[in-house]
Structure 1
Amino acid sequence: MVALSGVGPVVEDAHVHPASVEIAALAWKARRLTSEQLSEVVAAARTMQRD
């Protein structure tokens, strides 16, 4: 979460994922989804990983 939010202890050699901004934005938007909707998203993501 430190890499995503920028809040936390400073770590000199920490590597930030190149998509961290997009990941944080997606997580922020996902907060409004219902548990059923989140389950559907997880199922779809797992299907995509297998292909």
Structure 2
Amino acid sequence: MEHLPSTLTEQNKADLTRCAEDILLAREHEFPANLAEMQQPSSPSPFSQARRGI
């Protein structure tokens, strides 16, 4: 995982916001699964794909 710069640009903020929204939407899609269930490597989920965007 890359380290965040000490000062975030507007583009950095926009990218982080998009990733956070993607993760929240994926979690909603996978409800009522818990985080452990959503991160199973044997069954890629929208949550796993959204997390890769960070």
TM class by shorter chain equals 0.3 to 0.5
Q: Which of 1 and 2 has higher RCO (CA within 8 Å, sep 6+)?
A: 2
Q: TM-score, normalised by structure 2?
A: 0.37
In our comparison, the structure showing a higher alpha carbon Rg is 1
Q: TM-score, normalised by structure 1?
A: 0.39
